[in-house]
Chain A
C-alpha cells in the first residue's frame, strides 16, 4: 500500500507540474487528471524497456547528428552517455527510454546553447555560503585563537584557562569532515576533574612554616625567631644534606650556614644553633663533593674517582631517606630527635668530610697529576689505620683500590702486550715518537717519564716497582719483535686480585701496616707478569739468539783467546809494518785478512767483520814513523756486528771497552813479536863488537821479553780468564735481562780497570807503552848496529881482498853476499802457508835520521837506564795504588806490581 500511496503522491505532483493545477485550485479537474494519469500509468500494455534498443537508438541518433554535421552535439551526447555508463545507474536505461520517447526532433531543434543555459543556472541552486559553514570546515576559524589571552588569569587554584575551548566547541555542530577534533576536545574535558581542595591548600600553607610570621595576639613580630618543630628541623637537615635548597640553611658560595631566624620551642637557641652549625659543616663538605662530582672529567682515572664519590654520596642519600622514612611512614614508635639523626649520620658525614678535604687539596695544588688523589687516598688509609679507625680505614681503602684498578689498566696492557696507548699522560712509560729500529728498543725507544724535578711520574708507593714494570714491558716488546710471543695471557695463571678485602683482610691482617700489605700485594702482582716474560726472554737470548756464541766470538776476537789465529792476524800486520809496506793500514786488506783468519773460528761469522781504521795524524802518516811506536796500532779497530737482541746485553759502550783491551794486547804482541823475531842461531864473537855490547844487548832483550811476557800473562790469565768465567756464570744464574746486562757491564768495567786502562792508571799505562816503544827501538838499534858492522866488515874484507889481490894472494870467494844471510831473520821454515817474509832489518837503519850519532853501546846503556827507571816507576806506582784503594782491581794491581817489582829488583842486582 505504501507503494501505491507513493505512486499516488508522485502522480499528483506530476499532474500539478504539468497542468499547473493543484488540489486546492481546481479540485475537480485535478482529480480527473489524476485519475486518468493513474489509469494510464497502471494499465498499459507496453513492454519492458529493452536497454539494447535504447543504446542502439542513441547510437543511431548520435550518428545522425554527425551525418547532419552537428558534431558538437554528437560529442556532447556521447560524453553524457559515457558518463552515465560509468555511473551505472540502476534505472538508467528506463530513464533514457523515457527521454527518447519524449524527444522531439533533436536533430533540428536541440542546440548546445541550451546546455550552456543549464550550466549557468546551476550556481543559484546551492544554498548560500554562511560563516558557520566556513567555521565548520576550518578549525582555525572555529577556535577563538585570535582572542587575546588573559595571562594574568593563571593561578594554581583557578580553572579559567580551559573556558575558551569549552565554550567554543559547543557552538559547532556541523556535518563537516573535521568534526573529529570536536570529539577529542569534548573528550578531554570530560577527563578534567574538579579538584579544588580547599583543606589541602590550607594544610600546605600551614606547613610552609617559613612564610608564617609569628604573631602574638594578631600583632606580627618580625624580629622574634620563628618556632619550628623538631620534625620540621630534621626534614630541613635531610633536605640540605641531599643538596636541595632549604629555609633553615643558607648557601654562601660553597659553605652552608645555618640561618638564624628559627628556634626550637623546647631548646635554647644557642644549643640549637650549635647543632645546626655541625650540620652545616657537614653540609658544606657534602656540597663540595656534589659540586665536584658534577664536573666533567676527561681522564678515566678522575672519572673513577668521581664515580666512587658519587657512589658514597648515593649511599648517604639512601641513609637519609631511610631516616626520613622511619619518621614519615611510621611503623613502630619513634622518637623524633635531631641528635639521634646526627648520630646516625656521623660516620658517613665524617668520611665524606675527609673526602672533601682531599678534593680541596687537589684543587689547591697547581697542576696536580691525575694520580695525586691516589697518593692522598693512600695516605689517608695509612693514617686512619694507624689511628685505629677501622671503619674509616676500610672506607678509604675501598675507594683507593677501586680507583687503583683503573690505574692498573695501562700497566697491565704494557706488561702483557708491550703496548702503550697514545696520549696517555698518566702512565709513567712513554714512547719516543721517532721511528727507532730494533737495536735501540731496549735503550732508547721507551722512556720512563719524569717530572721536571727528576722525580718519577708515578705515585709514591709505586716507585720501587717501576723499573721492574718498565723492563717487563720492554721484554715483551723485544719478544714480539723476535716473534717469540703472541700473547702473554696464559689460561692457567691468573693475576692476583688487588682488592681491599684480599689485600688487607681485616680479620687476619689487621695488625699489618697498610704500606707493607700493599707493597707485598703489588709486588706479587708485578711478579706474576714479570717472571714469565723475563724467563722467556732469557731463554730466547741464550738459545735462539746464540748469546754464548756471540760471547765466544767476541772474546776470541777482542781478547785473542785463540792464539794461533790471533798470531796469524797480528804477525802479518807487523811484518807489513816492518818492511815498510804502505798498505799496512789499508782497510780492505785488513778486513780481508781478519775475515780469513778469525773467520775460521766456529763461533765467528766472517760476514760480521769490519775493520775500521782511524785517521792518523799527518805527522806520523809516514809508515816508517808509524812502525816506530806501538801507539799507532791503536788506529786499528775491529768492529764485529752483533745481532740486535744480543746488543741489548753487549751494549755498544762495552764494545768500545773491548776495543781498548784489544789495542793494548795488540801493542804488547807487537813488541814481543819484534823482540822474538830474531832467532839467534849463533852469534860469533867478531872483532867488531865487544862483549860489552852484546852482553848488554842480550841482557836488555831478555829483560824486555820478560817484561812483555809478564804483562801478557797478567792480562790474559790473571785478568781476562777468571773474569770471563765469572761473567758466564753470572749470566747463567741471572733471573732476568737486567741482571744479565748488569753482569756484563760489571765484567767489562772490571776488565778495564784491571787491565790498567782505567782513568786512575792512565800514567802507568802510558809508561808501559813507552817501554814497549823502547823495545822496538832496541831492536832497531841492534839491527842498525848489525848493519853497520856488516858494512864495516865488508869494507874491511874488501880492503883485505884488495890487499890480498895487490899482494898477489889467492882471493877467496866473496862471502859478502852470504853474510847477510846469517843475520837475517830465519822465520821462514815454520809457517807453511805464510808467505816468506824476509825482513831485512838493515834497511831500517836509514830511518833514524834524527838520532844522534852515538855509539851503539851508549844507546844501549841509555836504554837500560830508561828501562829501569820506567819499570820501577810502573811497579811502585802499581803497588802504591793498590795500597791506596780498595776493590777488586787493586788486588790484581798488587799482583802485577809485585811481579814487576821482583823482576826489577832482581835485575838491578844483575848487570850494572
Chain B
C-alpha cells in the first residue's frame, strides 16, 4: 500500500510535470500565434484528454469567439441605433 507520503509525492511530481507540459504548449501556441491564454489552453487540453476531437474544438473556439461577435454585434447595434436616429431626424 503506498503511503500517504508516496501518494503526495506522486501527486506533486505529477503537478510539476503537468505544469511543465502546459508551459510548453503555451509557448508553442505563442509561437504559432494561436492566441490562447493559459486557462483556455488547459481546459482545451483537458477536453482533448477526454476524447474531444481537436478540429471540432478549434472550430468551436473560433466560431465561438463570442467576444468578437459580441463587439461586432454591439457595434452593429450601435450603428443601427444611430442610423435609425438619423432617419428619424430626417423624416421628422
Partners in one complex: yes
A residues whose Cβ falls under 8 Å from a Cβ of B = 3, 6-7, 10-11, 13-15, 17-21, 33, 36-37, 40-41, 44, 46-49, 61, 73, 76-77, 80-81, 83-84, 87, 89-91, 94-106, 109-110, 114-115, 118, 122, 175, 177, 179
Residues of A within 8 A of B60 (CB): 14, 37, 40-41
Give B12's nearest chain A residue, CB to CB: A175
Could you list some 19 contacts between A and B, CB below 8 A? A18-B66, A18-B67, A20-B67, A37-B64, A41-B47, A44-B53, A80-B27, A87-B24, A95-B25, A96-B28, A98-B55, A101-B55, A103-B29, A103-B32, A103-B33, A103-B34, A110-B31, A122-B23, A175-B12
Contact A115 B30 (CB under 8 A): yes
Given contact pairs A95-B25, A98-B57, A101-B55, a sample of 14 additional A-B residue pairs in the complex whose CB atoms are under 8 Å apart: A7-B52, A10-B46, A17-B37, A19-B66, A20-B67, A80-B24, A91-B45, A95-B44, A99-B28, A102-B29, A102-B61, A110-B31, A115-B27, A118-B30
Give A6's nearest chain B residue, CB to CB: B50
Instruction: Check if B8 is an interface residue, CB within 8 A of chain A.
Output: yes
**Could you tell me the distance between the alpha carbons of A104 and B34 in the complex, rounded to whole angstroms?**
6
**Could you tell me the distance between the alpha carbons of A419 and B57 in the complex, rounded to whole angstroms?**
106
Residues of A within 8 A of B45 (CB): 91, 95
Contact B33 A105 (CB under 8 A): yes
Contact B66 A94 (CB under 8 A): no
Contact B55 A97 (CB under 8 A): yes
Total contacting residues, chain B, CB less than 8 A: 49
**Could you tell me the distance between the alpha carbons of A77 and B34 in the complex, rounded to whole angstroms?**
13
Residues of B within 8 A of A18 (CB): 40, 61, 64-67
Residues of A within 8 A of B55 (CB): 44, 46-47, 49, 97-98, 101
Residues of B within 8 A of A44 (CB): 53, 55-56, 59
6 closest A-B pairs (Cβ-Cβ)?
A: A101-B58, A103-B32, A19-B66, A46-B55, A98-B54, A102-B34
**B interface: dominant SS:** helix
**Could you tell me the distance between the alpha carbons of A95 and B65 in the complex, rounded to whole angstroms?**
19
Residues of A within 8 A of B12 (CB): 175
Residues of B within 8 A of A89 (CB): 21
B residues whose Cβ falls under 8 Å from a Cβ of A = 5, 8-9, 12, 20-21, 23-37, 39-40, 43-67, 70
Choose among B9, B27, B67 the residue with the greatest number of A CB atoms under 10 Å from its CB. B27
Nearest CB of B to A184, in Å:
14
Nearest CB of A to B11, in Å:
9
Give B32's nearest chain A residue, CB to CB: A103
Partner of A73 from the list B9, B31, B49 (CB cut-off 8 Å) is B31
**Could you tell me the distance between the alpha carbons of A80 and B40 in the complex, rounded to whole angstroms?**
20
Partner of B54 from the list A36, A77, A94 (CB cut-off 8 Å) is A94
**Could you tell me the distance between the alpha carbons of A83 and B22 in the complex, rounded to whole angstroms?**
12
Give A49's nearest chain B residue, CB to CB: B54
Residues of B within 8 A of A100 (CB): 32
**Could you tell me the distance between the alpha carbons of A80 and B20 in the complex, rounded to whole angstroms?**
11
Give A3's nearest chain B residue, CB to CB: B50
Nearest CB of B to A671, in Å:
129
Contact B34 A90 (CB under 8 A): no
Residues of B within 8 A of A61 (CB): 32
Nearest CB of B to A64, in Å:
11
Choose among B34, B50, B63 the residue with the greatest number of A CB atoms under 10 Å from its CB. B34
**Could you tell me the distance between the alpha carbons of A104 and B30 in the complex, rounded to whole angstroms?**
10
Partner of A7 from the list B9, B47, B58, B63 (CB cut-off 8 Å) is B47
Give B18's nearest chain A residue, CB to CB: A89
Residues of A within 8 A of B58 (CB): 97-98, 101-102
Nearest CB of A to B1, in Å:
16
With contacts A91-B45, A98-B57 taken as known, whether A17 is within 8 angstroms of B9 at the C-beta atoms is no
Contact A15 B64 (CB under 8 A): yes
Give A109's nearest chain B residue, CB to CB: B33
With contacts A91-B49, A97-B54 taken as known, whether A77 is within 8 angstroms of B40 at the C-beta atoms is no
Partner of A91 from the list B39, B48, B56, B65 (CB cut-off 8 Å) is B48
Residues of A within 8 A of B47 (CB): 7, 10-11, 14, 41
With contacts A110-B32, A175-B5, A175-B8 taken as known, whether A36 is within 8 angstroms of B64 at the C-beta atoms is yes
Residues of B within 8 A of A98 (CB): 44, 48, 54-55, 57-58
Nearest CB of A to B4, in Å:
9
Residues of B within 8 A of A99 (CB): 25, 28-29, 32, 34, 36
Contact B31 A40 (CB under 8 A): no
Partner of B5 from the list A3, A17, A103, A179 (CB cut-off 8 Å) is A179
